[in-house]
Chain A
Amino acid sequence: MSNKVIYAIYNDDDILMDAVKKTRAAHHHIEEVFTPFPVHGLDKAMGLAPTRLAICAFIYGLCGLSFGTWMMNYIMIQDWPQDIGGKPSFSYIDNMPAFVPIMFEETVFFAAHLMVITFYMRSRLWPFKEAENPDVRTTDDHFLMEVAVNGNEEELVSFFEGTGAVEVKVIEKH
């Protein structure tokens, strides 16, 4: 099996969107699209599944809420229920208003940070990671669509030239 891919390079996001739709209609498999900025509707045009990051964040928030509640209950009510300025430390609910700011902040803290870390892990981003840029111009003003080559190479190249690409390259991938 060949490891050849086509790099179709565009210099306008509208042309890119049209090309993506045509490519999908022609049933060519799009491996990846590189853009210098978010192109609205690109994920829908490519048929990508919606992200579940928000669901993760909600669950992380619940974890944070539980952690905050457990922590304040253990420290302030169970472990050493001191009388501090007449605050009622008899049960958690008695003194709950005082704990709400902490519970709230823990919820936000867990939801935000764990969601960001999840994002980094899922998108494989970390310091010293080697950039996966197929063409340096894609970070500046060019858009690149990578499509696997199966079958007739010439036909594919001419197909992508017909979609308004400024440049079509066939690359052997390791």
Chain B
Amino acid sequence: MYTFSSKLKTFSFILMAVGLLGIGYGFLTAPKDIQEVEKILAADAHGSHHEAGSESEGSHTVSATAKIKAEAEHTEHLTHVLHQLQNKPWSALYVACIFFMLLSLGTLAFYAIQQVAQAGWSPVLFRVMQGITAYLPVGSVIFFLFLVLCGLHFNHLFIWLDPEVVAHDKIIANKSGYLNFPFWIVRAGVFLLGWNAYRYFSRKNCLAQDESDDNSFYKKNFNISAMFLVFFIVTESIMSWDWIMSLDPHWSSTLFGWYVFASFFVSGITMIAMVTIYLKSKGYLENVNSSHIHDLAKFMFGISVFWTYLWFSQFMLIWYANIPEEITYFVMRIQVYNLPFFGAVVMNFLFPVLILINTDFKRITWVLVMAGTVILLGHYVDFFNMIMPGTVGGSWFIGVSEIASVLFFLGLFIFVVFSTLTKAPLLPKRNPYIEESKHFHY
């Protein structure tokens, strides 16, 4: 049995406390009206404002109507920036919230695949995977509440939730048969319930299999895993449209669902590897050997490349054809989010490919921890890139709100995952493949 070390528990509480403080600070310092925005902008850009000022002084002949028009434009600009800055702490929270929830969903998908594929190597890791997916119910509740808050107009992340916007936007209005709050929130509820139901019953059957004297629970798990995977791939795709793509309601992409999937799937696998390495280093996983770690590292490597393939396919198809209504998505990201946009490719592709291509490196703990850290950070940045441009646009910055949100959810994640790991033995007893898995050697 695993015991949650008090050090780690304290660490997770500190992360949550610091995160909460930072999140609160982010909300308190968000500007409340356009006067504050004006001050922020003036403080941000002395040079450019000075220039603008002298120019208007020079042109006395500017007609009154033009002046009023300029004034109106200025106010409009300030309102725009105000919305972005007010969205910023919400978006920071949203990115971290969805990232950790989907990470544990990615682990759940990997776990289901291992069950259905009757993999002979992974049963010794099933309890680790179940520990990580224990975050899913917690994360789902927080995430669902967040979506409800969006629907109650506490924030302005999803612009199609704003009836004002829809009334003046034909493109969004035409999509309102799909993008309307009741349908959207019901879909979210169904998806989250479905995933959590699979997680709950799969865990329950796995524990029951330990006590049973035949394989009926194992077979049950096989069947529900197969059904879950079918449900998952459909809901995952729709989820990516609902929760991420609809932040840019004027844009659409067909392979977006797969792209999002690859991103959180590789994060989930990386997290399995990281938790396994941690538990192994504490001496809790005696049956896990370097071959298991090696296999996880191969999955990290392979799915990283898969993510890159989808990233590039999506980017290159749109870049090549350069259709105005599609390309704006990437124009925004390249011009305003240049470093995070291309930095994500370096972190999620170049770095893991060069590090994890070597067979020996895939067995060295510190190399894997380093590669895993970069992959996880890289996929956080990936979600940042998907979400932020649609909500805060040019006002993005990785500051207190963003870091604090990640710290809060990381602390919560550590607390939930490692608490769950204490609740069951780390080795499934009567899994039909457990002997093979114990002696797995590559």
Given A97-B315, A97-B316, A100-B312, are A54 and B359 also a contact pair (CB < 8 Å)? Answer: yes
Q: List 12 A-B contacts (CB under 8 A).
A: A54-B359, A58-B357, A86-B322, A97-B312, A97-B315, A97-B316, A97-B319, A97-B320, A98-B316, A98-B320, A100-B312, A100-B316
Q: Mark A125-144, 1 if CB is under 8 A from B, else 0.
A: 00000000000000000000
> CA of A54 to CA of B361 in the docked complex: distance in angstroms?
14
* CA–CA, A54 and B362, complex, Å: 15
Interchain nearest-CB distance for B104 vs A (Å)? 33
Residues of A contacting B: mostly: helix
Chain A 21-63 interface mask (CB, 8 Å, partner B; 1/0): 0000000000000000000000000000000001000100000
Chain B: interface secondary structure?
Answer: helix
- Give the interface size class of chain A: under 10
Q: How far is the CA of A58 from the CA of B319 in the complex (A)?
A: 30
Binding site for A on B (CB under 8 A): 312, 315-316, 319-320, 322, 357, 359
Contacts of B312 in A (CB 8 A): 97, 100
Q: Hey, which chain A residues are within 8 Å of B359, CB to CB?
A: 54
> Which of A86, A97, A100 has the most CB atoms of chain B within a 10 A radius of its CB?
A97
Instruction: Give the B-binding residues of A (Cβ under 8 A).
Output: 54, 58, 86, 97-98, 100
Given the complex of chains A and B, what is the CA–CA distance between A54 and B357 in angstroms? Answer: 10
- Smallest distance from the beta carbon of A40 to chain B beta carbons, Å? 10
In angstroms, Cα B360 to Cα A54, docked, is 12
Cα separation A58 to B312 with both chains bound (whole Å): 22
A68–chain B nearest beta-carbon distance, Å: 15
A126 to chain B, nearest CB (A): 29
A17 CB to closest chain B CB (Å) equals 15
Which A residues lie within 8 Å of B316 (CB)? 97-98, 100
Closest to B360 in A: A50
Q: Look across to chain A and name the residue whose beta carbon is closest to the beta carbon of B322.
A: A86
- Bound complex: CA A97 to CA B314 (Å): 11
Q: A54-B359, A98-B316 are in contact. List 4 more A-B contacts (CB 8 A).
A: A58-B357, A86-B322, A97-B320, A100-B312
Question: Nearest Cβ in chain B — how far from A136, in angstroms?
Answer: 34
Q: Which B residues touch A100, using CB under 8 A?
A: 312, 316
Q: Give min CB distance, B442 to chain A, whole Å.
A: 11
Minimal Cβ-Cβ distance residue in A for B315? A97
Q: A54 CB to closest chain B CB, in angstroms?
A: 7
* A98 CB contacts on chain B under 8 angstroms: 316, 320
Instruction: Give A55's nearest chain B residue, CB to CB.
Output: B358
Contacts of A54 in B (CB 8 A): 359
Cβ of B316 to closest chain A Cβ, rounded Å: 5
